[in-house]
Structure 1
Amino acid sequence: MGWVSRNTREERWPAVDLRMDVPHSARVYDYLIGGKTNFEPDRTAAHASVQAWPALPVSMRTTRTFMQRVVRNLVEEHGVRQFLDIGTGIPTSPNVHEIAQGIAPEARVAYVDNDPIVLTHARALMSSTEEGRTCYVDADLRDPDAILGAPELREVLDLSQPVALSLIAIVHFVLDEDDPQGIVRRFMDELAPGSFLALTVFTGDTDPVGVGGVGREYNARGIPLQIRDRKETLAFFDGYELLDPGVTLVHRWRPDADADPVRDQDIAMHGGVAVKR
């Protein structure tokens, strides 16, 4: 089956300033997982972060495969057909819609990000099967009302039916002063019973010194980043029913049988999936 453009509105966005002279979180991540959409300041920040904690690329790639397993599980085992993916990042195949629609062609995905570099690549997120739909919303996670009220989102997702809210490798960029747990609750309150929350949290539990060095490198370069522990991770899931095995390091959440072995000390991300009853 071919892939065709199924975006709901004309792709017309304003010109954006990519600020190639300063590092950007999306581009640093892209470089660390082997991507090509990055510039010298991003690579410099990445190298400094890896020097502080050499396992960082392993942790990031493992978080990406966690996302892939979660999407596959929600579609196959729980019948999820709608996804709200916030903090999408630079498109890297397979994206959420490619995984979901590869199993259920009628699946619908709304992508959200406010990073200028992601906006320039958004067309890659708006290819879809004939049966499904995708869209891209240029908005900030810290403004739930703008996201939930976006016409693009409302044209693609039916919020009266279950939706999986995906917040992968994003909440560590929301500081406590902005109430990240409250932001997540605001989204989940709007979603129908039977909806899911898939979320990861950047943690120093496995290597406080090394991961703390990553935090210092990011913050020193103007990328606010907050490291949290497992107790703080669990707070994001308060009021929802966690799926087995609960909140774990991401490589321990329902690993594939043929997955390469990964050491706990090389992972700096807790992850979990919960359902709203």
Structure 2
Amino acid sequence: MAPLARRLVDSVVSGVDDWMTEKLGEEFNERLARVPLNLTTTGVDPFGLDPQWTKYALASVAFLHRHYFRTEVFGAENLPKDRVLLVANHSGQLPIDGALIGASLFMDVEPPRFMRAMVEKWTQTLPFVSLLFSRVGQVVGVPENAKRLLESEEALLVFPEGSRGISKTFDKRYQLVDFGLGFMRLALETNTPIVPVAVIGGEEQYVSVGNFGALAKLLRMPSFPVLPQLLLPFGALPLPTRYRIYLGEPMRFTGDPDDDDAIIEEKVFAVKGTVQSMVNRGLKARKSVFF
């Protein structure tokens, strides 16, 4: 790199680092230093995570977590220090809820954890997005990847509602749709505890009143929501709802991961019922969407 270009890059990096320290304090850097990363000789981990990309992605999300959505975290003491499967309700049209759960594990749990998440396969078709997800440690949601992460004692987030959950319309807010069974088979196979997670605040950040199904199909997207707020100035920004994230007590299950669906479904219903109950209690305790 030419000297002028190098000085410019160094200046930008220095400015970003100063901004991080100003907005997040030295706590952020101290926590970052305590999170172990399994890097290969190429400077990334086996799934493509790059420490520099991850640092700045974490800083951006932590800023939103602390200052924009002003997230409150409950039950941080419930998170195991080794492998764990986080199972959460999904909402909000964009996966901001997943990012804020990750920020909660990094900023509010002791010791700080770096969370992995399973991303939809269709995201790999999006220019730049697939590379970004890889560089910040998120992996394509296939069983082989999930098993490898848990066997490495990682914290792994799954949304069993999938795209049906994130694309709910406002009249269906906080009503969980059916959970897939894969996460339970994974937990049984790897002997991993499940921590149920309830997220309050995501349903109101983008108010969807419908879905352009034909357009979504044409664009090969799971949904194309109708968002009236996009007609307002700065409407593309999510509303600054106050997020509340509840981490429940670990749930442990035993059995054969290859059992019939009917047997697995009983265990899945127990997790779904727990998450829905936590969501209901969180909604009842909430006094305001924004405060």
* TM-score interval, normalised by the smaller of the two chains: 0.3 to 0.5
Higher helix proportion, which one? 2
TM-score by structure 2 length? Answer: 0.40
Larger radius of gyration: 2
TM-score by structure 1 length? Answer: 0.42
